Structures are given as structure tokens and as C-alpha cells.
Amino acid sequence: MDLPTVWFVLIAVLWTGYLVLEGFDFGVGMLLPVLGRSDRERRTMINTIGPLWDGNEVWLLTAGGATFAAFPMWYATMFSGFYLPLLLILLALIVRVVAFEWRGKIDDDAWRARADRALIIGSWVPAVLWGVAFGNLVRGVHLDADFQYVGGFWALLNPFALLGGATTALIFLTHGAVFLALKTDGDIRRRAASLAVRGAVATLVAGGAFALWTQLAFSVAWTWVATAVAAAALLALVAATRQRREKAAFGWSVLAIVSVVVLIFGSMYPDVMPALDGVNSLTVDNASSADYTLTIMTWVAVALVPLVLLYQGWTYWVFRKRISTEQIPAHTGLTFRR
């Protein structure tokens, strides 16, 4: 493969890492009002992802930075054309960070309730809008001869993209429920396992429809493999959640997300941003940086990515044990004087 194609694949890998890892902590935030029936239960849920969520977001930053450096035309067109949805995602992520960091700073029920609402909104909005964005990247958008987006905001809310948003929201919801069943004990674990069964069925329906539509309308022959793997993983996820096999269910959930990402990027290639008029599409060739830039980036990635993977793997190993409400102490938040 030439360097532009290599970096297209590497960016797909970075997005895979982000959606797999950030996916379950989005799911935990989305499920906060459903599974957390008391402040201590909600704190238990938050503590399952407390040491992990900010490390998971590094994958998004790296994917964005790699896109900017390797495919500046893609970055410029996408961030200008998708400005409003990406701004909403950014604001949601900022609100989410504030909720995580400041929830326990004031010992007040109303303050914690507002933080919980911020965390819920900050989890739902990206979970939906990432699917909408990727749906449009697969379907194609209105680009002119200068590779500028001219479709407007409402053109992004087409049926295919909205189905993509429903798919990512449901798979993250299920991914989060399976993660909570794997990481907690007691009532939260039982409720999460029960909800994961229903979520897996809903994800199978929406995800299956999205994958089939993608394959039939926008993909090539080899991506049938990714479609078949995604379908098999979703079916296995339904079976594993019904049997309460939590580790297996989490593995199948991960495989389903990976397969869908392969399907999405495989459907786009060789375009990085398909145009509805194919003549105006941005491709891995006409949107990429110079080979010298890509060569330097490749050596940096070879040197640094293994270190990042080792560090993040070590973090997950350290915080691998289950937690329960019995391990959560009484609230000791600070009260700021006015």
C-alpha cells in the first residue's frame, strides 16, 4: 500500500479504538438515570469508568490530529461542512468533562442532579451524532468543484444518516450495559444484565438494517465479509446476554463495533469524503499531504503508538476488578462558600 492508503487505514484503526473504548463509557452515561436508582448507585456507575474515560478520549484527539496532518483537505472540508454537528459534539464532550470533574465538589443534591443531567446529555449527543456523521461520510455529501460542502445542515439529516445515529446510540447503550454487568456487582449488575438483553435485540435490528443498507447501496464485494461478521457478532451478542455470559457478551459487542467501522471505511475507500456527484469526491490521493510528511508521521507513529497502547493496557489491568455500592464511601464533597 502507498502511504496515503496506509494512513487512511491507520485513521480507521484510531476511530475503531475510540468507538470501542469511548463507546462503553458513553453507554454508562446514557444509562445513568435508568440503572442508577440512588446517588450511591450512580456514583458506583461513574466509578467504573472514572479512571478510564479521559484516556479513551485520547483516541479521538489522535484521530483528529492524524486527519489534519495526513489529509488536510479532508479535515478542512469535513470540519467546515459538518461544523454545527461537530460543534454540538464538542460542547457535549466539554459538558461531560465538567460533570465528571465537578460532580463531587459541592455536597448538595441539587448540584449532583445537575451534574448527572449534564453527564447524560454529554453522553447521548455524541452517541447519536457520531453515527449521523459517519452515515453521511458513507452516503456522500454535496461538494462543489472546489471540494467545499454546499449542502446545508438539514441535508445531513437524511434517513440513512439518522439510521446510522440510531445504530451508534443503541450499540453504545448495549455496550455500556454489558460493561456495567462485567464491572459491577449486586443490583446494578443484575439490572444491567437484564437491560443488555433488550438492548442487544434492538441493536441487532437497527445495526442489521444499517449494515445491510450500507452494503447494498454503497459498498463493494469484499465488505460483505465485514457485514457478515457484524451480523454474526450481533446475533452472538444477543445469545450471550441472554445466557448472562458477560465476558463473552463484551467481546461480541467489541467485535460488532469493529466490524461496523471496517464496513464504514471500506465503503468509503478510495474516497475519504465521497460527493453525491462522484467527480467532486475527496480521495486518499487528492486530499493527502506530501509523501515526506506522511513518512515522518509514520516513523513517529511506529515509535509512540506501542507506548500508548502499553500504558492504556496497564491502566485497564490495574482497574480490572468489579466494584459495588458497598465499596463507595459516604459522600465527602466540598462545599464552596459564597
Render 230-254 in DSSP notation, one character per residue.
HHHHHHHHHHHHHTT-HHHHHHHHH
List of residues 6+ apart from 324 with CB closer than 8 A:
44, 184, 185, 186, 188, 189
Rounded Cα gap, residues 249 and 173, in angstroms: 13
Q: What is the third-level CATH fold of 3-274+281-321? A: Formate dehydrogenase/DMSO reductase fold (1.20.1630)
Phi-psi category of residue 85: left, alpha or beta, with phi > 0 → left and psi -120 to 50 → alpha: alpha
The HSE-up count of residue 55 (CA atoms within 13 Å, CB side) is: 15
Residue range 265-289, pLDDT digits in tens = 999 999 999 998 888 999 999 999 9
Portion of the chain with pLDDT greater than 70, in percent: 97
Please state, as a whole number, how many other Cβ atoms lie within 10 Å of the Cβ of residue 328: 16
Confidence of residue 338 (pLDDT cuts 50, 70, 90): very low
Residue range 307-320, pLDDT digits in tens = 989 988 999 999 98
For position 183, what pLDDT does the model report? 94
Residue whose cell numbers read 454537528: 85
Portion of the chain with pLDDT greater than 90, in percent: 79
Confidence of residue 332 (pLDDT cuts 50, 70, 90): low
DSSP letter string, 301-338: HHHHHHHHHHHHHHHHHHT-S-B-GGGSPPP-------
Rounded Cα gap, residues 189 and 323, in angstroms: 10
The dihedrals phi and psi of 195, each to the nearest 5 degrees, come to -70, -35
Rounded Cα gap, residues 256 and 270, in angstroms: 23
Residue range 17-39, pLDDT digits in tens = 999 999 999 999 999 999 999 99
Phi-psi category of residue 186: left, alpha or beta, with phi > 0 → left and psi -120 to 50 → alpha: left
For position 335, what pLDDT does the model report? 44
Rounded Cα gap, residues 294 and 24, in angstroms: 32
Whether 269 and 275 have beta carbons less than 8 Å apart is answered as: no
Rounded Cα gap, residues 166 and 46, in angstroms: 24
Residue range 206-263, pLDDT digits in tens = 999 999 999 999 989 999 999 999 999 999 999 999 999 999 999 999 999 999 999 9
The set of cell numbers assigned to 117 is 443531567
Mean pLDDT for the chain overall: 92
Whether 176 and 34 have beta carbons less than 8 Å apart is answered as: no
For position 327, what pLDDT does the model report? 82
Q: What is the DSSP letter of 149?
A: B
Amino acid in position 125? V
Q: Is pTM beyond 0.85 here?
A: yes
Q: Mean of the pLDDT values across residues 85-114?
A: 91
Structural domain boundaries in the chain:
3-274+281-321
For position 331, what pLDDT does the model report? 65
The set of cell numbers assigned to 120 is 447524560
